Amino acid sequence: MCEKIAGKVPEPRRAAFRRLRDETGEVIDEALVLFFAGPNSETGEDCLELQAHGSPAVLQRLAALLGDFPGCRPAEPGEFAQRAFLNGKVDLTAVEGLADLVDAETEAQRRLAVRQMGGSLRDLYEGWRTRLVEILALAEAGIDFVDEGDVGGDIGHTIAPILEELRREIEAHLSDARRGERIRHGAVVTLAGSPNVGKSSLMNALARREVAIVTDVPGTTRDRLEVRLDLDGMAVTVIDTAGLRETADVVEREGVRRARLAIKEADLVLLLGAGGPPISTHDGEVETWRVESKVDLTGSLPGRRDDGTFGISVKTGDGVADLLDALAERFRHDVASSGDVLLTQARHRRHLSECVDALAAAVRIGYDGEPDLFAEELRRAARSLGRITGRVDVEEVLGAIFERLCIGK
Ligand SMILES: Nc1nc2c(c(=O)[nH]1)N(C=O)[C@@H](CNc1ccc(C(=O)N[C@@H](CCC(=O)O)C(=O)O)cc1)CN2
Ligand SMILES: Nc1nc2c(ncn2[C@@H]2O[C@H](COP(=O)(O)OP(=O)(O)OP(=O)(O)O)[C@@H](O)[C@H]2O)c(=O)[nH]1
Ligand SMILES: [Mg+2]
């Protein structure tokens, strides 16, 4: 430890009150000081915290004084987490969990992130990797000693079902209907329909503020507008779009093109119409709910109807709460599953798919078919799992993960 502060550092993990002074003895601030002795700290290194009053003047003066300490400099973005990783305190999935926790807006996002930070994914993936490495050891023992004649024998029969079981487990984890990723990113609900049907009015009602311009001129909305809602713990992005119609106006035509894109990327489309025949979105793929708007004018029934459609009036407010309830209900399953061990990143999905491919190749080749090639596929499968937690080929994934974290994390 630096000799300037030796003897003045409080006992580890006990907050102490200290007056922070400059060289002349002038008091800069009154602070709480907390010392963590490595390796029992967040980064695994010695950490000294000065919990001062956060005004710009105090921080600037402290930063300047600390800059004079040998080896002291401001942290790079994500450097604390990076050091924790490099010192073996956490794996990559825990760092990703921490980054998600810092960004979490809803209860489902928080719960998913905190579990991941606590090692839920690391345990799962490292567990699979350990099993693979054991099988690999068995296979390699067979390969190495095959000339000696005795170990080879039945290895192929022993290994095949274990590999199949592993592959099945990983595939089940992969086919989760993207629940984890949807919780993390938020579900997307797109408001669509002809011009003037009240999409932007509904948007404003859902957002409880005037996000979108509303006028009685058809074709008012051209840009795509987004708001984030917290529906009983689920993050939902609602997108308002340009009314769908053929038009010679170049600007509006671009708006309609973007509206169609927003419909494609939606988890759910609310297709608004002022009664009359249903409007086609030209896309049967996306789940679509029909919403009859302006029921105060038509006299139609507000709320959810027996045929699954909704009636709303943004003017009187009738039916809007029912629609919100139904949306929350629609995503309740996702919120409930935030306590499960879920895949949360496309990065995990990619490596897991590689792993499954390699396992399938290994099974196809078979230990008895071509032991060297078989073992090579198993190594490829283990490497893919190792990349998720950061046990191998770390460099290429590091930057992408750590730069998401803010300075000082
Ligand atoms: N004041 C303060 N609050 C904070 C942080 C911090 O660094 N300082 N954190 C910053 O992100 C978070 C807490 N994260 C922490 C993570 C690990 C350890 C730690 O001392 N770990 C030891 C002992 C663990 C234990 O007692 O179980 C270790 O891992 O060995 C401390 C804080 C949120 N709140
Ligand atoms: N009476 C009544 N008028 C409504 C209701 N909802 C919207 N309006 C009116 O309908 C007109 C069009 O509303 P908008 O929300 O701008 O419609 P839009 O679908 O966004 O229209 P575009 O952006 O042009 O596609 C405005 O004059 C609104 O005040 C409603 O529930 N009842
Ligand atoms: Mg509009």
Supply the CATH number for residue 213's domain.
Answer: 3.40.50.300
Residue 217 assigned ligand-binding role: yes
Tokens representing 164?
Answer: 């199949």
Distance CA 351, CA 341 (A): 17
In a domain, 91, yes or no: no
Label residue 397 by pLDDT band (50, 70, 90): very low
Taking each continuous run of H as one helix and of E as one strand, the counts in the chain are 15, 10
Residues 312 and 188 reside in one and the same domain: yes
Q: Does ligand 2 lie within 6 Å of residue 204's CB atom?
A: no
In a domain, 398, yes or no: no
Residue 40 CA: nearest ligand 1 atom is 30
Question: Final residue of a domain: which of 333, 354, 372?
Answer: 333
Residues 135 and 197 reside in one and the same domain: no
Residue 221 assigned ligand-binding role: yes
In a domain, 95, yes or no: no
Distance CA 22, CA 30 (A): 12
Q: 3-class SS at 234?
A: strand
Distance CA 32, CA 36 (A): 13
CB-CB contact of 222 with 99 (8 Å)? no
Q: Does ligand 2 lie within 6 Å of residue 199's CB atom?
A: yes
In this structure, is the dihedral angle defined by the CA atoms of residues 106, 109, 111 and 113, taken in order, positive or negative?
negative
Residues 364 and 311 reside in one and the same domain: no
Nearest CA to ligand 1 atom 17: 42
In a domain, 246, yes or no: yes
Task: Check residue 137 and give its pLDDT.
Answer: 83
Residue 232 assigned ligand-binding role: no
Residues 58 and 11 reside in one and the same domain: yes
Residue 28 is part of a domain; what is its CATH number?
3.30.1360.120
Tokens representing 114?
Answer: 């905190």
More confident residue, 321 or 158: 321
In a domain, 213, yes or no: yes
Residues 186 and 161 reside in one and the same domain: no
Residues 267 and 213 reside in one and the same domain: yes
Residue 386 is part of a domain; what is its CATH number?
1.20.120.430
Distance CA 145, CA 9 (A): 59
Ligand 1: lining residues by beta carbon, under 6 Å: 36, 39-42, 49, 89
Residues 319 and 217 reside in one and the same domain: yes
In a domain, 106, yes or no: no
Give CA torsion, residues 275, 281, 283, 288, to 10 deg: -40
Residues 236 and 319 reside in one and the same domain: yes
Question: Final residue of a domain: which of 44, 59, 74?
Answer: 74
Residues 190 and 321 reside in one and the same domain: yes
Question: Final residue of a domain: which of 25, 47, 74?
Answer: 74
In a domain, 384, yes or no: yes
Q: What is the mean pLDDT of residues 232-238?
A: 96
CB-CB contact of 20 with 52 (8 Å)? yes
In a domain, 244, yes or no: yes
**Cα 41 to ligand 1 centre (Å):** 6
ipTM value of the model?
0.88
Label residue 141 by pLDDT band (50, 70, 90): confident
Task: Check residue 230 and give its pLDDT.
Answer: 96
Q: Does ligand 2 lie within 6 Å of residue 299's CB atom?
A: no
Residues 309 and 378 reside in one and the same domain: no
Token pair 């994500």: residue: 78
Mutation test of ligand 2: which of 190, 194, 196, 215 has the most ligand atoms closer than 8 Å to its C-beta?
Answer: 196
Percent of the chain with pLDDT over 90: 78
Q: What is the mean pLDDT of residues 7-26?
A: 93
249 lies in which domain range?
Answer: 182-333
Query: Closest-lying ligand to the alpha carbon of 83?
Result: 1
Flag whether pLDDT at 152 surpasses 90: no
**What pTM was computed for the model?**
0.85
Q: 3-class SS at 292?
A: strand
Distance CA 234, CA 332 (A): 8
Q: Within its chain, how far is the Cα of 147 from the centroid?
A: 50
Flag whether pLDDT at 46 surpasses 50: yes
**Cα 40 to ligand 1 centre (Å):** 9
Residues 268 and 131 reside in one and the same domain: no
pLDDT digits (tens, 9 = 90+) for 344-396: 999 999 999 999 999 999 999 988 888 889 989 999 999 999 999 997 654 44
When divided into structural domains, the chain yields a total of 3
Flag whether pLDDT at 288 surpasses 90: yes
Token pair 């997108």: residue: 239
Residues 266 and 191 reside in one and the same domain: yes
